[in-house]
Amino acid sequence: MSSLVRPLRIILLGAPGAGKGTQTTRLLKRFPKVQSLSTGDVLRSQIAAGTRIGKEASDHIKQGALIPDTTMVGLVMSQLEQLKWLDPKASWLLDGFPRTYKQAIALDHSLDQNDCRLNMVVELDVDQKVILDRIEARWVHVPSGRVYNIDYNPPKVPFKDDITGEPLTKRSDDTAEVFQRRLDQYNKEIEPIKKFYSNKGVLYKVSGDTSDIIYPKLEALVLEKFG
Ligand code: AMP
């Protein structure tokens, strides 16, 4: 079982519900030296803690809208510093950021200044009709960000997290109406982001309709380039 021979700085792109959280959990288990940050999880914990950012984010999230770029860029930049991810030796995965072209530019600029460029951006390509069909079956464990699907990837005990046994909850933005808005938003923003990374030669795509189909392809891709 080989591990990574050089630092991995990876971003997962993909429509909401494409399984970014699930793929992240599986990658981290396989490559324990990689750390991860999900901006959605950070925002949900800020909301739970009632912070200023949490208050600002709450309405946007409920409506399926994006949080303004200045807030998001500020939040992610301070997390990059706190987590010491600007050290070129660190290996990490960002899930849910960037979601706009402006965010992509800001991230690139900050990494560039610290001599640690992104070296892999993977688009999880899942049929959006399939995503819409299964979104109402999605349940989450908010403290850890672990994601389950009652039909495809059920918890061992119904509605309980596998690791902590704590109750799972539904996300308030996982209703059909709000979800469609989030998908529309994704489709509107993603092309310039993909073009930006494609020009840098770091963009890859893995396709499939379930996490079990996508994961082996993703792992093989990481091993091919970094194993
Ligand atoms: P997620 O868990 O990644 O689906 O994120 C949930 C929600 O948090 C999104 O629908 C947005 O409202 C907000 N959010 C997460 N990441 C970002 C980001 N990079 N930029 C703007 N809004 C974000």
The CATH number that applies at residue 117 is 3.40.50.300
User: What value does the mean pLDDT take over residues 77-104?
Assistant: 96
pLDDT on residue 136: 84
| Cβ-based neighbour number of residue 191 at 10 Å | 10
Does 166 map to a domain?
no
Residue 171 lies in a domain: no
* Tokens at 96, concatenated: 């849910």
Q: Could you give the CA distance from residue 204 to residue 194 in angstroms, rounded to a whole number?
A: 9
Q: Is residue 153 part of a domain?
A: no
Beta bridge partners of 147: 140
Please confirm whether the linkage preceding 32 is cis (ω < 30° from 0): no
What's the pLDDT score for residue 224? Answer: 95
Is 99's C-beta closer than 6 angstroms to any atom of ligand 1? Answer: yes
Cα 221 from Cα 227, distance rounded (Å):
9
Contacts with 99 (C-beta within 8 Å, 6 or more apart), sequence order: 39, 66, 72, 186, 189, 193
* Mutation to probe ligand 1, out of 36, 45, 63, 67 (largest number of atoms < 8 A from CB): 67
- pLDDT above 80 for 2: no
Res. 173 pLDDT band, cuts 50 70 90: confident
3-class secondary structure per residue, 177-204: HHHHHHHHHHHHHHHHHHHHHHHCCCEE
**Average pLDDT of 94-104?**
97
Q: Is 138 in the pocket of ligand 1 (CB under 6 A)?
A: no
C-beta 96 within 6 A of ligand 1: yes
Q: How far does residue 40's CA lie from ligand 1's centre (Å)?
A: 5
Is 218 inside a domain boundary? yes
Residues 45-50 have a mean pLDDT of 92
Amino acid at 105: I
Task: Look at the chain and count its residues.
Answer: 227
With a cut of 90, say whether residue 176 has pLDDT above it: no
**pLDDT at residue 31, as a whole number:** 95
State pTM to two decimals: 0.90
Distance of CA 87 to the CA centre of its chain: 21
Distances (CA, A) of 110 to 43, 104, 117, 118: 21, 10, 9, 11
**pLDDT band for position 91 (50/70/90)?**
very high
Give the domain extent around 88. Answer: 9-127+205-226
Give the pLDDT confidence score for residue 3 in this predicted structure.
81
Residue 62 maps to a domain: yes
Percent of the chain with pLDDT over 90: 81
Q: Give mean pLDDT, residues 115-128.
A: 95
Of the pLDDT bands very low, low, confident and very high (cuts 50, 70, 90), residue 151 is confident
Q: Is 60 in the pocket of ligand 1 (CB under 6 A)?
A: yes
**Residue numbers belonging to the annotated binding site:** 17-22, 39, 44, 65-67, 96-99, 103, 138, 147-148, 171, 182, 211
How far is 93 from 76, CA to CA, in rounded Å? 13
Is the predicted pLDDT of residue 175 greater than 90, yes or no? Answer: no
What is d(CA 112, CA 131) in angstroms, rounded to the nearest whole number? Answer: 35
Q: Does residue 138 lie in a domain region?
A: no
In a domain, 172, yes or no: no
Q: Mean pLDDT over residues 151-180, rounded?
A: 91
Q: What phi and psi values does residue 118 have, to the nearest 5 degrees?
A: -65, 140
Structure token pair of residue 182: 């989030």
Cβ(185)–Cβ(100) below 8 Å = no
3-state secondary structure of 95: strand
Amino acid at 166: E
Provide mean pLDDT across the span 38-55.
Answer: 93
- Is 73 contained in some domain? yes
Query: Using a 6 Å cutoff on CB, does residue 21 contact ligand 1?
Result: no
pLDDT reading at 1 higher than 60: no
For ligand 1, is residue 218 a contact (CB within 6 Å)? no
Instruction: Specify the ligand 1 atom closest to the Cα of 61.
Output: 12
Q: Is the pLDDT of residue 134 over 90?
A: no
**pLDDT given for residue 108 in this prediction:** 96
CA-nearest residue, atom 19 of ligand 1: 97
